[in-house]
Amino acid sequence: MITTILATIIALGVLVTVHEFGHYWVAKRCGVRVLRFSVGFGRALYTWKDQAGTEFCIAAIPLGGYVKMLDGRERTISEDERHEAFDQKPVGQRFAIVAAGPGINLIFAALIYALISMIGVQTPVPVVGELPTVTASKTRLPAEIVSFDGRDMESWERISIAMVDVIGDQTTVQVGLRPLDSTIVNQVTMPVPRDLITDESPLVAFGVRPWSPPIPAELARVIAGGVGEASGLVAGDRITAVNGNPVADWSEFVAAIKVAYGLSTELTLKRGDLTQT
């Protein structure tokens, strides 16, 4: 929660600063005297002035900002100051100053998106661990989804969008699957659901379950003073069974513990070379 609030404040601060800088920069280019450049409203937390006399300010409420310019509509100005007043500039220059804020925001957004495109964004490889029975019998799982309805797929997001596109228009769809232990892509036919229930994930509608590598049911640490420590568990113990039922990985261990929650539970574990209960 705190992290989200701080991130929002920082993001707003950056956007406001960029926006107001657009007004400031064009105003200076047009010969308008800028009296104050403020990021935020309310009580000033920190101020300083440059050689031109512009006061820069960081204020307490980071929900906006402003650039205050010399303007004859706000106070009486001398004849020597008229050439630096905003209201005395030609319409074209005044329009440019006003439009510079949103204009530089658009340019800034384009630069950020271009930077993200150059750097790239890491996304999980779309590897499926479970398919409808009629489809799963035609390939080995887990397998990477490399194409869907003739389109190359690189992420679960694109696959979800492609799934929505075919629901209601087709009864089946061709999917390219490459088993993780192979380089051969198998083209299989997958049934398309008739419709999509509100708020239902397209993956659920198609009977597709993403695969994740198994995590051993090994304890990284034991909370001091907790039930685990009282039961004699120590970091490094690897759980192999719960109430006599084998568990292959961490997800199976968690599922077994949920079933046995509140009940007396017997764990079988490996500690070093020894197996004990």
Res. 10: pLDDT tops 90: no
Q: Does residue 101 sit in the same domain as residue 7?
A: yes
Q: What is the pLDDT of residue 152?
A: 92
Per cent of the chain over pLDDT 90 is 38
Q: Does residue 133 sit in the same domain as residue 167?
A: yes
Domain assignment present for residue 221? The answer is no
Res. 165: pLDDT tops 80: yes
Q: Are 73 and 88 in contact (CB under 8 A)?
A: no
Tokens of 273: 């070379």
Is 130 among the residues known to form the active site? no
Picking from 208, 198, 202, 233, the residue whose alpha carbon sits closest to that of residue 219 is 233
Rounded Cα distance, 123 and 266, in Å: 39
* Predicted confidence (pLDDT) per residue in 172-226, tens digit: 999 999 999 889 999 999 898 888 776 778 888 888 989 888 888 888 888 888 8
Rounded Cα distance, 257 and 260, in Å: 5
Residue with token string 């993403």: 210
CATH number of the domain at 133, please.
2.30.42.10
Q: What is the pLDDT of residue 236?
A: 84
Q: What is the mean pLDDT of residues 89-107?
A: 94
> Distances in Å between the alpha carbon of 104 and those of 92, 111, 215?
17, 10, 48
Domain assignment present for residue 220? The answer is no
Q: What is the mean pLDDT of residues 118-144?
A: 84
Domain assignment present for residue 222? The answer is no
Q: Does residue 35 sit in the same domain as residue 105?
A: yes
Q: Does residue 9 sit in the same domain as residue 52?
A: yes
Helix (H), strand (E), coil (C) string for 189-222:
EEECCCCCCCCCCHHHHHCCEECCCCCCCECCCC
Q: Does residue 80 sit in the same domain as residue 155?
A: no
Res. 15: pLDDT tops 80: yes
Write out the residue range of the structural domain in which residue 189 sits: 127-210
Q: What is the pLDDT of residue 22?
A: 95
Give the contacts of 90 (CB within 8 A, at least 6 positions apart). none
Res. 60: pLDDT tops 90: no
Identify the bridge partners of residue 147 per DSSP, sorted by sequence position.
152, 176
Q: What is the mean pLDDT of residues 98-126?
A: 89
The domain tally of the chain equals 3
Burial class of 70 by CB neighbour count within 10 A (0 to 12, 13 to 18, 19+): buried
Domain assignment present for residue 272? The answer is yes
Rounded Cα distance, 27 and 31, in Å: 6
Q: Considering only the C-alpha atoms of the chain, give the largest distance between any 2 of them, rounded to a whole number of Å.
A: 95
Catalytic residue, chosen from 20, 154, 157, 266, is 20
Q: Does residue 114 sit in the same domain as residue 131?
A: no
Q: Does residue 176 sit in the same domain as residue 237?
A: no
What does the angle CA 217 – CA 220 – CA 223 come to, to the nearest 5 degrees? 110
Burial class of 110 by CB neighbour count within 10 A (0 to 12, 13 to 18, 19+): exposed
Q: Does residue 238 sit in the same domain as residue 180?
A: no
* Of residues 247 and 67, more confidently modeled: 67
